Amino acid sequence: MSNPIYKSINITNLLLNPSNPRFNPVEHQLEAIDAMVRGQQDKLVTLGKHITLYGLNPSDIVLVKPHNKQWVVREGNRRITTLKLINEPDLIPSDFPKLKKEFQLISMSFNKDILKNILCVILENEDEINEWVRLKHTGQNEGSGTVSWNGQQTSRFRVIAEGKPDMRLAFLDELRLMADVPQSIKDGLGNIKKTNFDRLIGDPDIREIMGLEINDDKLQLKNGISPFLLMILYDLIYEDLNVGDIYRKKDRIEYIELLKQRLMQENIESPDEQISDNTRETNNSQGGGYKASNSSSNNYINSENTDSKQQSSSTNQQASNTNHNSKRGYSYHINRKTLIPSPHKLTITHARILKIFNELKALAVDDYPNAVSVLFRVFIELSINCFITYKSLVDSKLNVDSSLAYKINAVAAYFETNKIMTKHELRAIRQMTAGENQTQSVRTFHSYVHNKDVTPSSTDLKSAWDDIWPFIEQIWR
């Protein structure tokens, strides 16, 4: 890696890159300027006005490569084009009279000293140049490139820079401190798309069902944490609630009705009672909880929050059972985008298996059902192989080369014998080896790999994951 050299260069000695990816390759400088003007137009005006006010960005230096006694710009061609147009507005093609007039006005008030001393970094190695240009323009690159802010982070910066509070952002920060909000919800609050959240909060009917009100430019809870609030937060975090689903008032009314139906189906609490009577328990001074039934299908209460002394013994028993049953605490909607719900976390010690797990959490199962089904099958077997090896269960009949069905039954028997899982809890995984028509059967998974006429269904795959998740979690515990 070479040592970069920094040098102040006059605008007249800087050449635009004729092979700039922003346009088709050209031969001459006037052609490059013409192509840039036609591609950028008013954006160049905006950039010119910004440079007039603030100067060139000191955190983003122009990168150049020597060319005879001049320098070819390899990174920063928009900026240099803008400066050339400010220096000579007549370079603008004649069919852009409005643009030329704008640059003539900018030129009149521009500090010409900037044009004579443009700080550049000089590199000669083509591989190094291409690497820095690639990193600048090809996204986050898994963290090595520029990682853009999301809506919440942008709002937080504006609060810092402008000193103007954002009531929605402040409300999310308050939720992180509330004991009644499940940890998995708290962990995901930073992933909520600000535009979706703002659109929902801007609707008074949505605020009503969430139990929120606006007082003195602050978003506040009226009667503690409501189940509808947790359901909506869950959808925003884990279900990737699309702006198209809540864009119009009619859409939001339909969404409210859907929330009511879901709450009734999950036996958490009567939605009519929730809205009209506001029958919520108050658990602490920060906000109230809500009564939950003994139903094991409670999607929104985290088991770690159900140990409060204020709750009934039956609810405490449910929390105890939930912890015993591998801390599920949630059942995840089948319309999620990926095979594995975001809250499902495993401590996987094997590098490749961890990569497969992360890929299954990232791949959109509706778009890639074949890839997901094969990876799912591989993940199950490799996980079981690791467990068998780690627990030294290998014998004359059981080893990593045994059939998948045999290995599953062996591990299930180990869990039952050692009271890790009950026979009832192992029913789903044993159906995988006993039933041939189950969505999670071994035969079905073999067909995904070997039978060209069997097409996996994303719904079946997600159902299979939900069924065997307790078993998978115990394998990696």
Taking alpha carbons only, the member of 427, 426, 434 closest to residue 474 is 426
> Both 234 and 378 in a single domain?
no
* Under 8 Å between Cβ of 347 and 366: no
Structure tokens at 15: 């050449």
Amino acid at the residue 435: G
Q: How far apart are CA 172 and CA 401, in angstroms?
A: 50
Residue 433 has pLDDT above 50, yes or no: yes
> Both 187 and 277 in a single domain?
yes
> Both 34 and 134 in a single domain?
yes
Answer yes or no: is 329 within a domain.
no
Beta bridge partners, 71, equal: 14, 66
Answer yes or no: is 242 within a domain.
yes
**What's the gap between Cα 350 and its chain centre?**
24
Number of other residues whose CB lies within 10 A of the CB of residue 220:
14
* Under 8 Å between Cβ of 47 and 60: no
Residue 324 has pLDDT above 50, yes or no: no
Phi, psi dihedral angles at 349 (to 5 degrees): -95, -10
Question: What is the four-CA torsion angle of 310, 312, 316, 321, rounded to 10 degrees?
Answer: -160
Q: How far apart are CA 58 and CA 233, in angstroms?
A: 40
The whole-number pLDDT of residue 263 equals: 80
Sign, Cα dihedral of 53, 54, 55, 61: negative
Q: How far apart are CA 58 and CA 47, in angstroms?
A: 15
Taking alpha carbons only, the member of 415, 420, 357 closest to residue 388 is 415
Residue 339 has pLDDT above 70, yes or no: yes
> Both 135 and 186 in a single domain?
no
Answer yes or no: is 465 within a domain.
yes
* Under 8 Å between Cβ of 194 and 151: yes
Structure confidence by residue, pLDDT tens digits, 118-157? 999 999 999 999 999 999 888 888 888 888 777 677 767 7
Structure confidence by residue, pLDDT tens digits, 72-85? 999 999 999 999 99
Angle at 90 between CA 87 and CA 94, to 5 degrees: 145
Q: How far apart are CA 255 and CA 259, in angstroms?
A: 6
Answer yes or no: is 274 within a domain.
yes
Inter-CA distances, 334 with 30, 251, 366, Å: 57, 21, 11
> Both 101 and 158 in a single domain?
no
Structure confidence by residue, pLDDT tens digits, 356-405? 999 998 899 888 999 999 999 999 999 998 888 888 887 767 877 888 88
> Both 173 and 316 in a single domain?
yes
> Both 101 and 179 in a single domain?
no
Element (H or E) spanning 272, and its range? helix 271-272
The whole-number pLDDT of residue 195 equals: 80
Beta bridge partners, 8, equal: 119
Q: How far apart are CA 367 and CA 339, in angstroms?
A: 11
- CB neighbours of 39 closer than 8 A, spacing ≥ 6? 22, 23
The whole-number pLDDT of residue 437 equals: 52
> Both 238 and 138 in a single domain?
no
- Number of independent structural domains in the chain: 3
Angle at 472 between CA 471 and CA 474, to 5 degrees: 65
Average pLDDT over residues 339-352: 86
Answer yes or no: is 156 within a domain.
yes
Structure tokens at 137: 């323009």
Least confident of 62-66, 97-101, 286-290: 286-290
Answer yes or no: is 334 within a domain.
no
Inter-CA distances, 306 with 36, 322, 325, 327, Å: 61, 10, 15, 12
Answer yes or no: is 169 within a domain.
yes
Q: What is the mean pLDDT of the chain?
A: 80
Identify the domain containing residue 70 by its residue range. 5-143
Beta bridge partners, 221, equal: 212
Residue 7 has pLDDT above 70, yes or no: yes
> Both 291 and 170 in a single domain?
yes
Question: Which among 106, 121, 143 is the end of a domain?
Answer: 143
Structure tokens at 196: 């979706």
> Both 446 and 361 in a single domain?
yes
Q: Under DSSP, is residue 116 helix (H, G, I), strand (E, B) or coil?
A: helix
Structure confidence by residue, pLDDT tens digits, 235-275? 888 776 766 778 888 888 888 888 888 787 664 433 344 43
Question: Tokens 């949630």 map to which residue?
Answer: 330
Question: Which among 143, 173, 208 is the end of a domain?
Answer: 143
Taking alpha carbons only, the member of 302, 320, 301, 321 closest to residue 425 is 321
- 440 pLDDT tier (thresholds 50, 70, 90): low
Question: Which among 143, 169, 190 is the end of a domain?
Answer: 143
Residue 330 has pLDDT above 60, yes or no: no
Structure tokens at 87: 């220096």
> Both 209 and 246 in a single domain?
yes
> 97-109 vs 42-54: helix axis angle to the nearest 10?
0
Answer yes or no: is 88 within a domain.
yes
Element (H or E) spanning 432, and its range? helix 427-434
Side-chain-facing half-sphere of 183: CA atoms under 13 Å = 9
> Both 46 and 130 in a single domain?
yes
- 159 pLDDT tier (thresholds 50, 70, 90): low
